Structure 1
Amino acid sequence: MAMARRSRHLEEARTLYARMMAAASGSTDPRLERIFELVPREAFLPPGPWHIKVEHGLVETPSADPALLYQNALVVLDQQKGINNGEPFLHARLIGAVAPQPGETVIQVGAGGGYYTAMLSMLVLPDGKVFAYELDGPLAEAARRNLTPFENVTVLLQNAVEGAIEPSDVIYVNAGVVAPPRSWLTALKRGGRIVFPWRPANDIGLAVLARAEHAGSEPIGFSTRILGNAWFIPCEGASDEEASIRKPTVREARQARAIFLRSQREPDASAVAVYPDLWFSSQALR
């Protein structure tokens, strides 16, 4: 009887969590709620009790009951390195905005323990695939182990900033960048989407969605939408503010409506942020 009560308690916690995540996503995709309910969060975390990040401190859960995990909480993966498994509502919003579809190819930058990788994996079934990059060796190994049931996922122990990446429909970035590397943007297929935490200055942290746009067969730039605040750990190799030619103010950053490669178009009066390979414009593409 006690075991049945615990099982029902966990099931109810997952059901409520899934409904909240679907609501937080802002998406009408009916698959999201089911996927958030099916993927067990505890399977992508170290054994409990767990440490939950609250402001600048940590709170330990009173037990290893997995039902305690089904809330909008940052759970520590590596306390020494300051790595957590990400805020669920924020990731729900990012996943909802980038909208992975069946058969698509997804690049994830920063797999962590693989929890959100699993979500992306299920959303591109059947025939889709996910390439998940993770720089941290122990985390990459944990992600590989955790994602064993997800056969369309490849975990790569390497830096996605270095070298070419697979041509992609979706790029899902879990680390803050001063600007997205040119190689990421050029890897996007026609209509491809990238969502990334933009950290052009210490006091700016924004989630950005960009879509590759074309006029006929010619790429013309990337339509851009600011999704809200987002603070992530820096992306190694793409977080040096010294790479900025023109830094935006907070107000200017929130006005970004397009990204252009400088090989396509040089900065004009609408530029709010300029980098060696690309720039952000306050002028919408269409």
Structure 2
Amino acid sequence: MAGRGQIVPELDRLAGALAEQMAGRGDWPSRSPWIRAAMEALPRHLFAPDLLYHWDGRAYVPVDRRTDPDGWTRLVYADPDTAAVPQVTNGLPSSSLSCAAVVADMLDSLLLEPGQRVLELGTGTGWNAALLARRAGHGRVASVEVDEGLAGAARERVEAAGTPVDVRVADGALGLPEGAPYDRVIATYAVPRVPWTWVEQCAPGGRIVFPWGPLGHVALTVAPDGRSASGRVQGLAQFMSARGAEDRARDYAAVRGTGPADGERPVHRDLTPLHEGYGLRFALRVAVPGLRLTTAVDEDGVNAWLHDGHGSWASLTAEPDGTTTARRGGPRRLADEVEHAWDRWRALGSPGPREYGMTVHQDRQYVWCLDPATGPRWPVGDGAPAQPRPAH
């Protein structure tokens, strides 16, 4: 077994290799050169606990740095797009050391300047908080973490790295009111709706960056009067949900059950874009709240399975004769909703994900497309069916 002293030079080498790999892919934001400098000064292995978890195809299994340093190292520096898992709860990841490419993208979206006051929601391992502190300066970053154990360990790591952060044990949805207003607010976990406290605690003209559901991260700017915040989708990576709000929806098999379908009909369109087009899939997730979509290709063509995590499902099955059949069950007609949203998206000119944005008010929030004032809108809800509304 390699000793800790033996693997540190290897970790430094891998940190450098990761930085070069990101440079070769164009992952380092040109407008934020401070991010690469910060990541090179604060490599991710300094914030990785000795125990990480690896998915072996059936379950998450522990990998201990003290007994398997090579395996641990591979998890920390897998590639720019892979997160490391330091905590598993009830068989599912409940914390992560986020992948480097996503961290860089979100920090760039924050447009952080030295001296600005920052509130981070979800301390996790402390790596992102340390990067923020290196940019903002001493005493300028506060971070809240609902897990007391994670908070304590992160506090020790950021202090050891020379980037002290005010780490508090609290619910991120409540923010940290005693330090408000903040110039920047950033969340490291996904939320289906933006807590209004985040807007309240961010100064007018301030910026809020957060992962929205499973669709990517959004950057909002708080209006001058502080009564709303609005901005566009910035990136497309997926994130872990808020603690206690992990996806409690049932999977397709549980929603489908074993009973007969409530009905079926032919599908008169090529499903290839549904399988290959991320822009279309993004648009459908916006327009059909609660939609879970899986596709696969077999010898007959593209197949799709839709469900809402609760009680409605649909299957789009490629048949041997070259046709496609939609079968459904539950109160919603998900295949109809998807086809309607698909047609609407094409009528809009097939906009890409970054042509979508979000506006948040205290009593309502909605996603818009193309233009926040004149484009179509979809209310941000809890998964109930929604239809686009005209702007007003």
TM > 0.5 = yes
CA RMSD of aligned residues (A): 4.0
Alignment pair present for 1:119 and 2:163? no
Q: TM-score, normalised by structure 2?
A: 0.57
Aligned match for 1:96, one of 108, 112, 135: 108
In the alignment, is the contact (CA less than 8 A) between 2:35 and 2:107 conserved in 1? Answer: no
Q: Find the counterpart in structure 1 of residue 188 from structure 2.
A: 174
Q: Write the mapping of 1:127-166 to structure 2, written as runs, cut at 5 A.
A: 129-149=140-160, 150=162, 152-162=164-174, 165=177, 166=180
Decide which of 80, 84, 88 is 1:75's aligned counterpart: 84
Cα deviation for residue 139 of structure 1 reads 0.5
In 2, the alpha carbon distance for the partners of 1:32 and 1:39 equals: 10
The alpha-carbon deviation at position 108 of structure 1 amounts to: 0.8
Please point out which of 231, 237, 251 is paired with 1:230: 237
Rounded to whole Å, the distance in 2 between the matches of 1:173 and 1:266 is 19
Structure showing greater relative contact order (alpha-carbon pairs closer than 8 Å, 6 or more residues apart) = 1
Paired-residue identity, %:
23
Match of 1:273 in 2: 379
- Structure 2: unaligned runs, 5 residues or longer: 249-284, 289-340, 346-351, 368-372, 383-387
Q: Measure the CA separation in 2 of the matches of 1:263 and 1:12.
A: 51
For 2:47 and 2:365, locate their aligned partners in 1 and report how far apart those are by CA, in whole Å.
43
Q: Which amino acid aligns with 2:119?
A: I
Quick one: which amino acid aligns to residue 43 of structure 1?
Answer: L
The match for 2:42 is 39
**Partners in 2 of 1:54 and 1:173 — Cα distance?**
29
Per-residue CA deviations over 1:188-226 (Å, capped at 9, x if unaligned) read: 113211111112xxxx42211111233xxx347433111
Q: Secondary structure at the residue paired with 2:49? A: coil
Change (3 A) 1:137 1:8: closer
Secondary structure of the residue that 1:257 maps to in structure 2? strand
**Counterpart residue number, 1:259:** 359
Which shifted more, 260-269 or 227-236? Answer: 260-269
Instruction: Note if contact 1:220-1:264 (Cα within 8 Å) is conserved in structure 2.
Output: no
Residues matched between the structures, number = 265
Alignment correspondent of 1:244: none
Residue 111 of structure 1 and its aligned partner are, at CA, apart by 0.5
Q: Deviations over 1:109-151 (max 9, x none)?
A: 11001011111110112x5611111001111111111111445
- Counterpart residue identity of residue 231, structure 1: Q
| Structure-1-length-normalised TM-score | 0.75
Structure 1: where are the runs of 5+ without partners?
A: 242-246
1:205 aligns with 2:305: no
- Check conservation: 2:223, 2:229, Cα contact below 8 A: yes
Offset at 1:98?
0.9
1:17/1:37 contact within 8 Å kept: no
